[in-house]
Amino acid sequence: MDVVGLFGDIGLPALTINHCRTPDGLPGECGDLSRCIYLIFDMVRLRRSVCFRNLFMVGICCPGITSTTTTETIHPNTTLIPETTVPTTVSTEAPTTKTTTAATTTTTTTTTERPIPTTVPIKRFNQKSTKKPFSTSTTIANITSKPTTTTIKGIEIFTPSPSPTEDPYILATEESTQNFTYASEFRCGTSGRDGRIVGGYESNPGQWPWMAAIFLDSHRGREYWCGGALVGTWYILTAAHCLSDQRGRKYRKEQLTVRLGDHHLFRTDDFMNPIEFKVSAAIPHPQFSRSGFYNDIALLKLRQPVTYSEFISPVCLPTPGLKANTLVGYMGTVTGWGTLSYGGVGSGSLQQVTMPIWDNTDCNRRYFQPITQGFMCAGFFEGGKDACQGDSGSPMVIPDRTRHWTVVGVVSFGSKCAQPGYPGVYTRVTEYLDWIDENME
């Protein structure tokens, strides 16, 4: 078995050393594999010794290494290393450069790992999969009029709440009712059928008409790769990390196909009539960094303009006035075709979940990755609901008082799926309105 294939290149600069515990419970330090290269002869132990992962960079907990320069008291490190979601693999018919309707397909799933906790001691989990899904639980946490503090596994977490005059499910600003700057020829953000959200479960066909499924053509055939949102007749908003592999090599635009107006990706008995579009330009943010997932936002320009219908229409982009609102305590809704549990297989049908938005300061305490203003976090403190594996690039939306929906976040990374105390992390769309405007011709 190829070690590099499993763990990525090991010929990397030495990683920052952190205290950890080996699979035997012995003290060690998390660093480069070269510190205990003998582990390559025991693949099971090598996998269990992984203590850090950030895309293709990996750290191994090597035993018996102690610092000779400082003496300190070691406290549990509850931060996590972020990892982007990786899509559910789907084998389909050969790709076509022509706009077509969807056909019945057969699905398989290929999974990789998400972030690994670096707690002391480290509690290992089954390291089999990738991506970022939804829980099937339907319990919604109550948002109180006063903030509270919740203790989860010994961690005190501040519970955000909107002001008493705000509805956590509805954008209160008047400007939010005018978010059709980028789709003025059609009223954006109009949810189809029943737009009410009460928990994490399968959506109704046609409920989210802006949802886009992005497929990648590779040597394995066609794979469902990422989610996205229609934001105009020509453009799809998604995550920048969806447009390149783990080594940062960009995919050719000819490899990408966008499907609109679908509900179940692999069935034709859902009474939908999806349409596929080829991509004329893939536009990741020029300052996107895979080391930290900064500026994880992108646009896809379609080869042909979209004709709006009951099942295909754009979501609203935020107005500049919304930038001053941190949205802390509001309930954001995420939709996507990701897996239903960490390491699970995709259901194929569009899922949805509604979660409270966190304060960035509190979210920053949870992650190794600095949570800057370009990010936003959302999730229940007790876990159980989250975007998940395969949901990268999918939108987080909030309705205004007229029940029109505005995209405020793009799924970026997280800690496995729906882990207690660790929210999912999203790109904050309001921070990139100028860039979006400049790149939507």
Taking the C-alpha atoms of residue 104 and residue 422, their distance in angstroms, rounded to an integer, is 37
Nearest residue to 347 via CA among 267, 227, 271, 404: 267
Contacts within 8 Å (CB) and 24+ apart, 94-99: 94/221, 94/222, 95/215, 95/217, 95/222, 95/257, 96/276, 97/254, 97/278, 98/278, 99/275, 99/276, 99/277, 99/278, 99/304
End-to-end CA, the chain: 48
From 19, 176, 241, 386, the catalytic residue? 241
Q: Is 296 a catalytic residue?
A: yes
Burial 214-249 (b: 16+ CB within 10 A, else e): bbbbeeebbbbbbbbbbbbbbbbbbbbbbbbeeeee
Nearest residue to 354 via CA among 380, 328, 388, 372: 380
From 262, 270, 296, 391, the catalytic residue? 296
Taking the C-alpha atoms of residue 334 and residue 312, their distance in angstroms, rounded to an integer, is 18
Taking the C-alpha atoms of residue 310 and residue 313, their distance in angstroms, rounded to an integer, is 7
Confirm if 88 and 345 have CB atoms less than 8 A apart: yes
**Residue 356, helix vs strand vs coil:** strand
H helical segments located in 34-100: 43-48
Backbone torsions φ then ψ of 286, nearest 5 degrees: -65, -20
Contacts of 359 (CB under 8 A, 6+ apart): 158, 160, 326, 328
Query: 10 Å Cβ neighbour count for 197?
Result: 22
Contacts of 19 (CB under 8 A, 6+ apart): 27, 28, 29, 30, 74, 77, 120
From 135, 191, 313, 392, the catalytic residue? 392
Taking the C-alpha atoms of residue 358 and residue 328, their distance in angstroms, rounded to an integer, is 5
Catalytic residues: 241, 296, 392
